[in-house]
Amino acid sequence: MHFPRTPSFHLRGKRALVTGASSGIGLACAVALAEHGAEVTLAARSGDKLREIADHMAAENWDTDILELDVSNVSATADRVRQAGPFDVLVNSAGLARHSAALETTEEDFDAVADLNIKGAYFLTKAVAEGLVAAGRAGSLINISSQMAKVGGIDRAVYAATKHAVEGFTKSMAIEWGPLGIRVNTICPTFIVTPLTRQTFDRPERRAWVEEKIKLGRIGEVEDIMGAAVFLASEASALITGTALMIDGGWTAD
């Protein structure tokens, strides 16, 4: 009898670019991909921090290098990705949040968040896809989105707007690039304990709001994202594109 076999989760022979890799979700995803055999390029604005991380990862016998990159600088990012690529896997975890009541939103804050979360993410994904197309290779491109791409939230009108936009361009790119073997998906975490969310958890009323919304009864940790990144990067998700993987503890189940 012929039994089906589970597709492999290994990433040996794959080159992965992880932005926002100097901390939080980006760093966790970089570690997860490296653990599963990928050659990981760590990208962020802070070269010193990246070098420190790369040294520690090398001590684990993981294959890594670094790329100083400001994703909001579209032209420079495209040039660096073109020179360093092609990459089989992208995890775009570079992001920015400036929370305020909608009536208090400033144009400066709106532009800063949108420039990185929408414009930067869009053109980074495009740049990696261009490298794959030129090389005639398939790939898996993953944008770190948010549960706020599916709902709204207090003081999060701008942030939620940018993440809704990420979902829109991800679906459209998935449709266009599917025939080329390039998959494009998002991971949508709930509130995860990172430096980016510290300002929320420092406010007791906001922490209570978060904990009440998460049906599993706990705030997320970066480890909760790592398996999803490996899954979407690997052949185990070969028929998945244009979708959002919710890691929200049931927040959006209502």
In whole angstroms, what is the distance from residue 88 CA to residue 204 CA? 42
In whole angstroms, what is the distance from residue 49 CA to residue 192 CA? 21
Length reported for the chain: 254
In whole angstroms, what is the distance from residue 161 CA to residue 50 CA? 30
- Is 122 an annotated catalytic residue? no
In whole angstroms, what is the distance from residue 205 CA to residue 214 CA? 15
In whole angstroms, what is the distance from residue 194 CA to residue 36 CA? 23
- H/E stretch holding 195: none
Contact indicator for 243, 185 with CB cutoff of 8 Å = yes
Contact indicator for 247, 220 with CB cutoff of 8 Å = yes
Active-site position among 62, 123, 159, 231? 159
Contact indicator for 196, 146 with CB cutoff of 8 Å = no
**Where would I find the beta strands (DSSP E) of the chain?**
15-19, 39-44, 64-68, 89-92, 139-144, 182-189, 244-247
Active-site annotation, residues? 159
